[in-house]
Amino acid sequence: MTCDQQPGLMPLETGIKEMLSAITPCQTIEPISLADAAERVLAKDIQSPIAVPSFDNSAMDGYAINATESTAESFTIQGQSMAGSPYLETLKANHAVRIMTGAAIPNGADTVIMQESAVRQGDQVTFTQIPTIGNNIRKRGEDVAEGDTVLPQGTRLNAANMALLASVGSAEISVYAKTKVGLMSTGDELKQPGQSLSYGDIYDSNRIAVKQMLQNLSVEVIDYGIIADNEADFTRAFKKADSECDFVISSGGVSVGEADYTKTVLEQLGRIDFWKLAIKPGKPFAFGQLPNSYFIGLPGNPVSAIVTMHVLASQAIRQHQHIGHQPMKMIKARSATDLKKAPGRLDFQRGHWQLNAQGEVSVEPVGRQQGSHILHGLANANCYIALEQERSNVSAGEWVDIWLFDHLI
């Protein structure tokens, strides 16, 4: 039996399903200024109190006329309508109003002829094309009707939908409180970048990567640093994080080593499930509940920690944020090289995709090795080559699934 053919490994889909079903989304709602609402999640539907546009207006610079009733070849200019300074008189027969983009359509006009089709001499204007009735007019409410639901509850606000809310006049909105995540690394061997390394020490790369991914999820991160391998320090750290956060995330200490106190301490404080996932890298993973928070234990190997944070733990955060499961985009690609794969686990090999000479999506592994400690390949990848659990070696030219990296990584 190979190491990848161990019985009792949990499929990734099962792990995600069990985790999401255990998490209650945030119930705390708070008001916030629209200007400060980037990446926040709406707690209530937003209905528009106005129509957008709120008046018929011109789609371009030109001349407003009544094309339905006009019979003249030359039109007398009777005024102008500017954005913010509308022309308020009624348009006379066979007259025109000079109009700018975004300006209100004068009463009596039904068409705007663009200025490139106009020849003006003094107060007279003629047109080089036959006008089409209704051309170049943006109608009231054609974007949003009064009372429309412009964005539903659960929307994460980006630049485009913030602009939409601004267009209907929403200055303050109701959002869910930010998810608070306590983050820590465990292990006596870990040192902060910038510190001197003794023989046997390594720099803590996991926390810096996971912290950035959490910030990309728009959560409030509380960094508890590195926790030494002793039970008292573990207990203090986890109790403090549990009292202050919605999630407690640690990396390392979820295996079965003699100095791994995570299991002992967390089972005293709450209910923890230690899973062996059928994925590579990232088989050891922990999820559970503390008195006031959810716990996620990431593996200690750096690539394993990043991959499980990316494909698994991030979904737990989104569930709490009312966003729910958001899998990465998956597409088919042709493998440019042979790929080694043993059956038994879903294998997330780090890859780089591009279009080949035939216009097909082509992918190849990045780096000399695919080990769970090899960060160089991950840093230069733009996708996972996701080889199915029961698949074996892949020959160059075969089709494979790739998961495209998103904004988290």
What mean pLDDT do residues 237-245 have? 96
pLDDT of 253 over the 50 cut: yes
| Mean pLDDT across 225-242 | 91
Query: What is the reported pLDDT for 1?
Result: 39
Is 3-28+177-320's fold the same as 57-138's?
no
pLDDT, tens digit, for every residue of 60-71? Answer: 999 999 999 988
DSSP code for 34: G
Pairing label, strands 29-33, 62-65: unpaired
Residue with tokens 């956060």: 245
When pLDDT is cut at 50, 70 and 90, the band that residue 260 belongs to is: low
Closest CA to 246 of 221, 217, 265: 221
34 CB neighbour count, 10 Å cutoff: 17
Q: Per mean pLDDT, which of 95-104, 180-189, 250-259 is the most reliable?
A: 95-104
pLDDT value for 257: 52
pTM, two decimals, is 0.87
- pLDDT tens for 314-369 read 999 999 999 999 999 999 999 999 999 999 999 999 999 999 989 999 999 997 77
What dotted CATH number matches 330-404? 2.40.340.10
CA distances from 363 to 279, 307, 345, 346, 409 (A): 20, 19, 20, 17, 18
Question: What is the structure's pLDDT at 369?
Answer: 72
Separation CA 4–CA 14 (nearest Å): 18
Where does 57-138 sit in CATH, by number? 2.170.190.11
E strand or H helix that includes residue 284: strand 284-289
The helix or strand, by DSSP H or E, that contains position 361, with its residue range, turns out to be strand 361-365
Question: Domain 3-28+177-320 classified CATH 3.40.980.10?
Answer: yes
- Whether the predicted pLDDT of 262 surpasses 90: no
Q: Output b/e per residue, 315-333; b: 16+ Cβ within 10 A.
A: bbbbbbbbbeeeebeeeeb
DSSP letter at 192?
-
Mean pLDDT of the 107-120 span:
96
Tell me the domain boundaries of the chain: 3-28+177-320, 29-51+142-176, 57-138, 330-404
Q: At the fourth CATH level, which superfamily is domain 29-51+142-176?
A: Molybdopterin biosynthesis moea protein, domain 2 (3.90.105.10)
Evaluate if residue 40 carries a pLDDT over 80. yes
Residue 269 one-letter amino acid = L
Strands in 62-148 per DSSP E = 62-65, 74-81, 95-99, 111-114, 118-121, 124-127, 137-138
